[in-house]
Amino acid sequence: MHPSISQSKKIRSGQNIVFIAGKPEELPGDHFSAKELQYIRKEFKDSKRDFFTFNNLDQWLFVRFIREDKNEYKILEEMRKAGDLLGKTISDQKIKEIVLYNCTGSKNTIIAFTEGLSLGSYSFRKYKTEKEKDTLKGPFPENIGVYSAGLGKNDLTELSVIIEAVFRCRTLINEPNSFLSATVFAREVKQMAKECGAKADVLDKKKIEALQMGGLLAVNRGSLDPPTFPVMEWKPANAVNKKPYVFIGKGVVFDSGGMNLKPGDSMSTMKDDMSGAAAVACAVYAIAKMKLPVYVVGLMPATDNRPGPKAVVPGDIIRMHNKLTVEVLNTDAEGRLILADAITYAKKYDPALVIDLATLTGSAVRAVGKFGIVAMEEDAENELGLLKESGWRVYERLVEFPSWEEYGELIKSDLADLKNVGPGEGGAITAGKFLQKFAEFPFIHLDIAGPAFLENADSYRGKGGTGVGVRLLVDFIRNITKK
């Protein structure tokens, strides 16, 4: 459950209020006594204090000052974090209703604050016993009112959709493989499509075999569950584009590494290996629910990756959907195999641009950690520029890695056309290069392995699945409608 967000047209007495302001002079006079205001002014100036709490028995008043920064993106991120921080007090005190009172002139500021407060309230409690659930009964807050000048008609409804989409994405990621098989994932995608008015179609094992998707089938060979390949399509009559934007998400519902079994603890978070597919499903969901006039398609090849008597073994040579042959030297480099087939499949849509999202490499994690998405492009320089801007706006930042052809040389096989691993160095790049070999259109690859899943909460990003990619893609598409 996410908090409900709506516009407050006026303030009623006794409401819990958060005042968001640049400086004390901006606070409205009628909510504080002269003494309180004096106190705020002094503390703000002398102690550089920017957060105040007043508990007036029946009413909570909070004041949050936001200091100026030259970088607008940083201000917005500060606001999200401030929203999350306030959320901690709100849930400690079990406050259900809160009004956010915007004293600044900027609506983006209040939207970011609302976003951080809402996103920070997420929790995954499905597997907690009822008793414990009751004591925690949330969410806190349950209702957020926003009192602000300059809000557009759609600002808060669109924000609500985004929050809902990120929550759904996180839950899909947090669901363990014991619930979320590739089959169940496909069912969830269908359900979401139904709710948002998008079209959904699931390629089943038979169809995947008929299409000779050798990559997806090879990864699935050790599994007891069949692979699936859900496709979501949002094609509104008023679309601004003829050729679609196609998003592809890695849907490895559990990655054991296969025959190259992952060692030690490195397997423990691998239910998150479908974070790319979840982000794609939830981004298309949000875009459709907002009825954005853009034609988008989501492709989500899904399977688990396991050892087993029939599993693909190192040295096997497989034939991909586009007929290229691949020498599988490491079965833990499975993501690129299923994505490559999906990239080939995207061709039938004659796409304007294809973007893939994948928890693809440990190499990307080592390079940038949880703070960045590794991005590579081919024939999509302008589009990557726009995506980077979106990355700053939503603070899911991109760092570009090179697509130099020398890296492509590293994945040529002696026996087949390609091999699925290069040498140790530049692992995130050779993985991206592998995918590019299958793209015959403008293509952006996003390796989200770093930020997709957190073992410790990072402000409003929370613990577990973060939903990274959802806000990024939605902002990117929304931005296209504004051009």
Q: Which residues are catalytic?
A: 262, 336
Rounded Cα gap, residues 196 and 228, in angstroms: 21
For ligand BES, the closer of residues 225 and 332 by Cβ is 332
Binding residue (CB under 5 A) for Zn ion from 332, 378, 383, 396: 332
User: Residue of minimal CB distance from ligand BES?
Assistant: 362
Cβ-Cβ contacts under 8 Å for 384 (sequence gap 6 or more): 375, 377, 398, 400, 444
Binding to Zn ion by residue 356, rule CB under 5 A? no
363 binds, among Zn ion, ligand BES, none (CB under 5 to 8 A by kind): ligand BES
Find the shortest distance in angstroms from Cβ 160 to ligand BES: 30
**Which residue's entry shows tokens 């703000």?**
44
Q: Which of the 8 DSSP states describes residue 338?
A: H
Binding to ligand BES by residue 359, rule CB under 6 A? yes
- Give the pair of three-digit tokens for residue 134: 């009751």
Binding segment for ligand BES (CB under 6 A), chosen from 24-32, 108-116, 332-340, 459-467, is: 332-340
**Radius of gyration in angstroms for the set of CA atoms belonging to the chain, rounded to a whole number:** 24
Q: How many CB atoms lie within 10 A of CB 409?
A: 11
For ligand BES, the closer of residues 275 and 344 by Cβ is 275
Q: Are 84 and 120 in contact (CB under 8 A)?
A: yes
- Give the pair of three-digit tokens for residue 101: 């009172």
- Give the pair of three-digit tokens for residue 264: 């030690």
Residue 377 bridge partners (DSSP): 444
Binding to ligand BES by residue 362, rule CB under 6 A? yes
**What binding mask, one character per residue, do residues 173-212 give for ligand BES by CB under 6 A, x or -?**
----------------------------------------
- Tell me which H or E stretch contains 319: strand 317-319
Binding segment for ligand BES (CB under 6 A), chosen from 60-68, 140-148, 229-237, 326-334, is: 326-334
Binding to ligand BES by residue 435, rule CB under 6 A? no
For Zn ion, the closer of residues 304 and 334 by Cβ is 334
Task: Give burial (CB, 10 Å; 0-12/13-18/19+) of 13.
Answer: exposed
Binding to ligand BES by residue 334, rule CB under 6 A? yes
Binding segment for Zn ion (CB under 5 A), chosen from 17-25, 91-99, 202-210, 246-254, is: 246-254
Binding to ligand BES by residue 365, rule CB under 6 A? yes
Residue among 421, 216, 186 at smallest CA distance from 339: 216
- Tell me which H or E stretch contains 201: strand 199-203
**Which residue's entry shows tokens 């901006």?**
26
For Zn ion, the closer of residues 252 and 374 by Cβ is 252
Binding segment for Zn ion (CB under 5 A), chosen from 164-172, 248-256, 288-296, 415-423, is: 248-256
Binding segment for ligand BES (CB under 6 A), chosen from 68-76, 173-181, 239-247, 361-369, is: 361-369
**Angstrom distances, CA of residue 325 to CA of 266, 302, 321, 409:** 29, 21, 9, 16
233 binds, among Zn ion, ligand BES, none (CB under 5 to 8 A by kind): none
Binding to Zn ion by residue 255, rule CB under 5 A? yes
Task: Give burial (CB, 10 Å; 0-12/13-18/19+) of 479.
Answer: middle
427 binds, among Zn ion, ligand BES, none (CB under 5 to 8 A by kind): ligand BES
**Angstrom distances, CA of residue 376 to CA of 249, 298, 346:** 15, 19, 18
Find the shortest distance in angstroms from Cβ 260 to ligand BES: 7
**What binding mask, one character per residue, do residues 63-102 give for Zn ion by CB under 5 A, x or -?**
----------------------------------------
Task: Give burial (CB, 10 Å; 0-12/13-18/19+) of 138.
Answer: middle
Find the shortest distance in angstroms from Cβ 203 to ligand BES: 22
Binding residue (CB under 6 A) for ligand BES from 164, 304, 327, 332: 332
Binding to Zn ion by residue 335, rule CB under 5 A? yes
Residue 101 bridge partners (DSSP): 19, 147
226 binds, among Zn ion, ligand BES, none (CB under 5 to 8 A by kind): none
Binding residue (CB under 6 A) for ligand BES from 102, 118, 160, 363: 363
Binding residue (CB under 6 A) for ligand BES from 146, 166, 449, 454: 449
Binding segment for Zn ion (CB under 5 A), chosen from 7-15, 24-32, 224-232, 327-335, is: 327-335
3-state secondary structure of 35: helix
Binding to Zn ion by residue 273, rule CB under 5 A? yes
Residues in the interface with ligand BES (CB under 6 A) total: 16
The CA-based angle 66-72-75, given to 5 degrees, is: 30
Rounded Cα gap, residues 128 and 309, in angstroms: 36
Residue 5 bridge partners (DSSP): 144
Residue by residue, DSSP assigns 53-103 as EEE-SS-EEEEEE----S-HHHHHHHHHHHHHHHHHHHHHTT--EEEEEE-
Binding to ligand BES by residue 413, rule CB under 6 A? no
Rounded Cα gap, residues 188 and 298, in angstroms: 14
Binding residue (CB under 6 A) for ligand BES from 109, 114, 344, 361: 361
Give the residues lining the site for ligand BES (CB under 6 A). 255, 273, 330, 332-335, 359-363, 365, 421, 427, 449
**Binding residues for Zn ion (CB under 5 A):** 252, 255, 273, 332, 334-335
